[in-house]
Amino acid sequence: MSDNGIRAFTFTPDDGVPPAVAPFAHATAAGSTLYVTGQMPTDVTGTVVGSDVAAQTEQVLRNLLRVTELCGGGVADVVNVRAYLVDWDDYGAFNTAYAAWFGERLDRLPSRTCVGVTGLAVGALVEVDWTCWRSDGWRATIGS
C-alpha cells in the first residue's frame, strides 16, 4: 500500500482473471472505495466468450465479480456501474442480462451509466467497470 492509503491489485489467469490487454491494475482501492477496471468478455485464456451482447455481458460481469471477490468483496458492495455498448440496438438485451445480476441479487440497485461507443478492445460488444464500497476496506485474498 502506498503512503497515501491507495493500493493497486493485479491478478493473473491462475487467479481466475483473464489476462490484461494493457498495462493497468485490475482494481485500485482508495480507503473504503474500490475501483474495478473495465472488463472484457474474455475467459482466462483471453478468448472472447459469446457472439451476442447477452452472453458477453454475463462473462464481463463474472470477470468483474471475480476481481471484486479477490479483493475481499462481492456484488452487494457494488455502488456504481458504467457500461459501454458498441451497438445501441443491444441495449434491451444488455439490460436483461444485467438485471439477472442486480435485479434479484440485491435489495438496491447500484447507480449506472450506459454509453454507446464506436469500438472496444478485442472486438467486444460490451465493456463494464464498477465501483464498490466497504466500510472495512479492501485486501487481496490472493495475487498482489
The answer to whether residue 139 sits within a structural domain is: no
Q: Please enumerate, as own/partner, the contacts of 140-143 that have beta carbons within 8 Å and a separation of 24 or more.
A: 140/9, 140/70, 140/71, 140/72, 141/69, 141/70, 141/71, 141/72, 142/11, 142/15, 142/70, 143/9, 143/10, 143/11, 143/12, 143/15, 143/17, 143/26, 143/70
103, 143, 124: which is closest to 38 by C-alpha? Answer: 124
Residue 48 lies in a domain: yes
Averages of pLDDT over runs of 10 residues in the chain (144 residues) are 76 94 93 96 96 98 97 95 98 95 78 96 97 88 55
Dist. CA 12–CA 136, nearest whole Å = 25
> Is residue 101 included in any domain, yes or no?
yes
Number of domains in the chain: 1
For residue 22, give the DSSP letter: S
Return all residues near 109 (Cβ < 8 A) that are at least 6 apart.
102, 103
Q: Identify whether 140 is part of a domain.
A: no
144 within a domain of the structure (yes/no): no
Per-residue pLDDT, 5: 77
In angstroms, rounded to a whole number, what is the distance separating the alpha carbons of residues 23 and 89?
Answer: 31
Q: Which domain holds residue 115?
A: 6-133
Confirm whether 141 is domain-assigned.
Answer: no
Q: What CATH number does residue 24 fall under?
A: 3.30.1330.40
Q: Is 54 a member of any domain? A: yes
